Amino acid sequence: MNTGETFDVVVVGSGAAGAMTALRAAENGLSVLIIEKAHKFGGTSATSGGVMWIPNHGLGESNEDSREQVMDYLASVTSGPVNPEKLNAYVDQAPEMAYYLKASGVELIPAAWPDYFPDKPGARADRSVVCPTYDGRRLGDDRYSLMREQFNRFKLFNRYAMDLTETFSLMMQNKGWRRVAANVIRRYWMDRSTRKVSHRDRRFTQGAALIGAVYEQVFKRGVQLRMETKLEHLVIDAGGKVTGVEVSNFGRKYTITAQHGVVLGSGGFEWNQELRDRFYPVPGLTRYSSTPEDGNRGEGLIAAEKLGAATEHTGEGWWIPTMTLPMPKSSNFHEIHQAAFDVGRPWSVCVNRKGVRFVDEATGYDSFGQAMVQDQIATGANCPCWLVFDAKFRAKFSAGGLMPWAHTPEHKVPADWWDHYIFRADTIEALATKIKVPVDALRTTVSNMNGYAKTGVDPEFGRGSNIYDQFFGDPTVSPNPNLGPIDKAPFYAVPINNGDLGTKGGIKTDARARVIDLQGKPIAGLYAAGNASGNPFGDCYPGAGATIGPAMTFGYIAANDIAERAGNQLSGKQPS
């Protein structure tokens, strides 16, 4: 059914890529509709850490970064096929996008977060950009509760919003952490007016802060947002140009015309097992993903492939170690918990199912996941691997969803968790038997780690030898903040899966975010950005925010290209 609705631009997906596309397109004078299949808007981005990797951004007091330094770094960390024109477009346009975002009313703050390969030429520790805490009520009470919430794992006691500074303070039990926790709780309950509206904390932090701030500007510019509206097919004319979308809403199907472009910002395919099996060398299961459950199923990719679109970089995800626990008060259902930084803390070690280490555990979470895949291919004994730790670790740090003693003492751990989700024993040998890892191998690995803890040097993988590792270590531990002896009973182990933050590859696009077909030509009227498309870095994850940074940048690029072509068409000129 054709309803007769027409917009200049239709954006599929309401995450960072879609939001930026809509914001910039509306700024350029185009009418815009965002369609979102979920009941909430904001996509995976709203549940994320909300970090954008924007090299040479020019924000803050320091402007020492340069294009040359950025390109040196990227040349040293990227491998495999990378489109140089697309990579150059990102490096050149990302600072411009950030400048536009700030000028539009979205506050941006550089974060002191090391690049993920800090020893490589050109690496820095100020390229990651975040948004400060945002007052969600500014969206209006009719929209405030309709934006996707952060996962419970990012909240204190599953309820109270925390920014990154508060999160790391509590995670590390830094001096004054109890006061930080008390302030977080006090703020929530003192906000009596919001408690009358919703249980949700009005303080939008991390990804919610970014998406909330951007959508405030999106709505101010008259963009329409339509939820519970799923992409079914892309509509093309006789010449093969994309002219609209067929969508469904609670079973009702209809067509919407897009005069100048359709932009696919619909996320990746991590929740589609068939596509995982098709593309990944070690597919893993959909439920190991840490993105919203059953959310990103590759609808944009599937629709684009039906028109002959090519794909790129589909063999990799944005990997992150995860672990599984039953949901509180509902043990028949499970939650996925990230363990990105837990695996590199002192008093612990990660081993494969042969009881052998396979990686610098404190490395970037994507590199950790790549090592899991490589070890699984080589040994068949990874995915999952095991995080093994002692009582000192248990007292201070989380292990995925298992919180430290101060939050979850032993007697509060549900009985059905023990020896099913979390394993505990009085000796390393008994623990090895429980988790069915060779006893001698695990004993040797732990003994070696205890020796490394004394010297501060890990001769196998160099754990704790660079500033990224140390950034997430424990500064009270010496001589190496990432190494501590695993020697205090009881001993614990939790299985670690190769989870993800989405997919690295997808629809192939060019430097203008145009979708490319199997013959290497753009499909007229069709664009893609974010995890629906292939990222500009190939198989690399250069720094915190390397997912959202390109998503927003290529959304910005797509909107500008559409506006330029719309202007050419209106003036009677043919676009190139």
pTM, full prediction: 0.95
The answer to whether residue 351 is domain-embedded is yes
Same domain, yes or no: 253 and 324: no
Convert the pLDDT of each residue in 266-292 to its tens digit.
999 999 999 999 999 999 999 999 999
**Could you give the CA distance from residue 553 to residue 562 in angstroms, rounded to a whole number?**
14
Is the Cβ–Cβ distance between 372 and 385 less than 8 Å?
yes
**Could you give the CA distance from residue 204 to residue 131 in angstroms, rounded to a whole number?**
10
Same domain, yes or no: 495 and 526: no
Same domain, yes or no: 439 and 486: yes
The answer to whether residue 165 is domain-embedded is no
Residue 51 pLDDT class (50, 70, 90 cuts)? very high
- Residue found by looking up tokens 């199912």 in the block: 353
Number of domains in the chain: 2
Same domain, yes or no: 518 and 418: no
Same domain, yes or no: 335 and 235: no
Q: Range of 328's domain?
A: 318-500
* Residue 349: closest CA among 387, 384, 393: 387
Q: Which helix (H) or strand (E) covers residue 500, if one does?
A: strand 491-503
pLDDT at 570: 42
Mean pLDDT, rounded, for 132-157: 90
pLDDT at 154: 80
Same domain, yes or no: 559 and 422: no
End of a domain among 500, 518, 553?
A: 500
Is the Cβ–Cβ distance between 373 and 281 less than 8 Å?
yes
Of the listed ranges 23-37, 174-188, 328-342, 370-384, the least confidently predicted one is 174-188
The answer to whether residue 523 is domain-embedded is yes
The answer to whether residue 11 is domain-embedded is yes
Copy the structure tokens of residue 151. 């996962």
Max Cα–Cα distance, the chain, nearest Å? 79
End of a domain among 463, 484, 500?
A: 500
The answer to whether residue 304 is domain-embedded is no
CATH code (residue 124): 3.50.50.60
End of a domain among 485, 500, 515?
A: 500
Convert the pLDDT of each residue in 97-124 to its tens digit.
999 999 999 999 999 899 999 999 999 9
pLDDT at 568: 43
The answer, yes or no, to whether residue 3 has pLDDT greater than 70, is: no
The answer to whether residue 381 is domain-embedded is yes
Convert the pLDDT of each residue in 73-105 to its tens digit.
999 999 888 999 999 999 999 999 999 999 999
Copy the structure tokens of residue 246. 């067929």
Is the Cβ–Cβ distance between 211 and 50 less than 8 Å?
yes
Copy the structure tokens of residue 290. 């840490």
| C-alpha pair distances (Å), 511 with each of 45, 146, 350, 508 | 23, 34, 40, 10
The answer, yes or no, to whether residue 47 has pLDDT greater than 50, is: yes
Q: Buried b / exposed e across 323-341, counting CB within 10 Å, b at 16+?
A: bbbbeeeeeeeebbbbbbb
Same domain, yes or no: 468 and 512: no
CATH code (residue 390): 3.90.700.10
**Could you give the CA distance from residue 250 to residue 257 in angstroms, rounded to a whole number?**
20
Percent of the chain with pLDDT over 90: 85
Same domain, yes or no: 515 and 477: no
Same domain, yes or no: 363 and 493: yes
Same domain, yes or no: 390 and 535: no
The answer to whether residue 195 is domain-embedded is no
Same domain, yes or no: 467 and 551: no
Copy the structure tokens of residue 278. 């098709």
The answer to whether residue 463 is domain-embedded is yes
Same domain, yes or no: 59 and 22: yes
Convert the pLDDT of each residue in 167-199 to its tens digit.
878 877 888 888 988 888 898 888 888 888 888
Three-state SS at 207: helix
pLDDT at 212: 98
3-state helix, strand, coil in the chain (%, to 5): 35, 25, 40
